[in-house]
A and B are shown apart, each in its own frame.
Chain A
Amino acid sequence: MEKSRSELGQIVVGVARDPLGLMGLIIVGVIVFCAIFAYWIVPYDPIAMDIKSRLQGPSAAHLLGTDQLGRDTFSRVIAGGQVALKVALPAVFGAMAIGLTLGMIAGYGPKWLDNLLMLFFDTIRSFPTVMFALAVVALIGPSLQTVVFVVMATSIPTYGRVARTQTLTLRNSEFILAERSMGASMARILGVHMLPNIIGVLAVLAAMDIPTVIALEAGLSFLGLGVKPPTPSWGALLKDGYSLIRQTPWLVVGGGLPIILATLGFTFLGESLRDVVDPKLRKQR
């Protein structure tokens, strides 16, 4: 296993050498740090109300002011980041794991199974995300888990299709034939030999997908389909700020800026990752 560690190290060094990649790495690092240590960073309880000091502008006490219930916006932004990652990470990794498994089975298994799985992917993709979210919320009600489920379900086909295409191109390669001639079973071929060839591409895809998911979570919360109040979320902040924009612009800034930063950070990181991982794979082939 010391191989994967050095491999990972090589990739991180490659990303850090690229200025955009370094920027992405820093932004993502800060976001992840704030999310993990949110509890210790926030100056106020993000859901504690303080009606006396509502709708304030920035001050030493409240860095980004307060909202209509007197809650500290800065604290809500930090805590909202934690919520965003709580949605984005399980959704993206869940979708990646399921999509990868189904896609590899579609690409390696018999034709009828491939057709069936492709039909399944196409069916999911044919629902507009918001419609799908509305339907699911109507069924099981809005919550963090609902958002995770919706986002995961709608992203499975993307991962599935990429994994399938990669598997299809690999399945007839000579080294796979060589493995089969050594008596490897289907599970062994997929798990030991195909997976390491495919995972890099999917990891890049996942990194690029995280900002989309964060924006989606914000969007769903903005529409009232996301996390329930009073849970802080960047989308919910934007929603509150939008209706109070005449009284204070700070809520919109507090909700909007982190979304923009997170989107930029993960996109830079993803693109830089792709450049580092791709030519490396090409060289090895």
Chain B
Amino acid sequence: MTETLLEIDHLSVDYETGRGDLKALRDITFDVNKGEIVGIVGESGCGKSTLISSILRLTAPNTRFREGEIRFKGQDLLQASERHMRDLRGADMSIVFQDPMQTHNPVLTIGQQMLDIQHRSKQSKADKLAHAAKMLGAVGIPDPEARLKQYPHEFSGGMRQRIAIAMALMSEPDLLIADEPTTALDATLEVQIIERLQELQREFHCAILFISHHLGVIAELCDRVVVMYAGAVVESGDVREIFHDPKHPYTRRLIECDPGHIKERARVLPTIPGEVPDLANLPEGCIFRDRCDQAMSRCATEVPPLDQLKEGHHAACWLNHEEVTT
């Protein structure tokens, strides 16, 4: 039985800027079920961080929620009180950030920081420390008791990221958000972290919202994937299905460009030609049209809707529409 944990429902978010409103997210809709791993892919600037900061309601001051709802366990987070959000953060939902070199307080030991994030717990200090050591052990930090006394700068990047994961999982949240947690690490460490996340997910049964611009990682880890382009969802569905039969030209290009997909490592990674449209000044029609090699005349004037092509597989491209109509 699948139970929905997080529902993003027609969410539109703007940033107020000197050049006018920058439409960072437009009409985003997707769900995350309990215990499921959902990946979000998209190039830099497509709005992935905006989306997760909206879920946590830790947005920049110039953020404006224009439309839609973010429902967590059925409750709309955009209407929730600041107090309620604070109670959710680090308890029911938590996050691992991109850069492990920046996410820890440089002047406190790891033990002090892990004690601090258990501030809601009524346990004794010794119990809290034991719990912290157990969590460090769970993410594969050797000799955790001794390591608790060390400062962040005494750990390598990969270790720091694992510590960040341990901290995020400490309260056994229902939802773990990971914002490109492996981007700052090299490939072997990336594999280790991904494997560790898989193990931990099996142990803690939390849902994971995994953000990456690396399709190979998503394919490895996730059950479902949401492909974003310039602030909109262009395709979403089962990972295997999308990899074998992508229904949006952008997804297709992403798969072709993915480093994990290239057999012989090319010296220069193929990239998609063209630029992302200006979000403060959106073009008419399909947002991907400038870079799409299959564009038709209709694409210039009409925005393709995000249609359901099969059970659980959505795409926003007029090419599929012809398939559907004929």
Contact = CB atoms under 8 A, between A and B. Distances in A.
B39 to A, nearest CB: 20
Interface stretch (A114-122, A169-177, A261-269): A169-177
A222 to B, nearest CB: 42
B16 interface: no
Interface stretch (A38-46, A144-152, A188-196, A248-256): A188-196
B87 to A, nearest CB: 7
Contact of A181 (B56, B102, B151): B56
A175 B56 contact: no
A285 B104 CA distance: 9
A182 B89 contact: yes
B117 interface: yes
B104 A182 contact: no
Contacts of A185: 86
Given A183-B91, A284-B107, A178 B151 contact: no
A111 B167 CA distance: 32
B116 A284 contact: no
A175 B90 contact: no
A17 interface: no
B102 A175 contact: yes
A174 B153 contact: no
B105 A175 contact: yes
Given A183-B86, A185-B86, A177 B97 contact: yes
Question: Which of the four size classes fits the interface of chain B?
Answer: 20 to 34
A175 B101 CA distance: 9
B124 to A, nearest CB: 16
Nearest to B154: A284
A177 B109 CA distance: 18
A118 B215 CA distance: 50
Given A181-B94, A192-B116, A196-B107, A174 B86 contact: no
Contacts of A184: 86, 90, 116-117, 119
A100 B164 CA distance: 30
A5 interface: no
A178 B102 CA distance: 9
A266 B83 CA distance: 46
B94 A197 contact: no
10 contacts: A177-B58, A179-B117, A181-B95, A182-B94, A183-B87, A184-B90, A184-B116, A184-B119, A193-B105, A284-B152
Interface of B: 56, 58, 86-91, 94-95, 97, 99, 102-109, 112, 116-117, 119-120, 149, 151-153, 164, 167
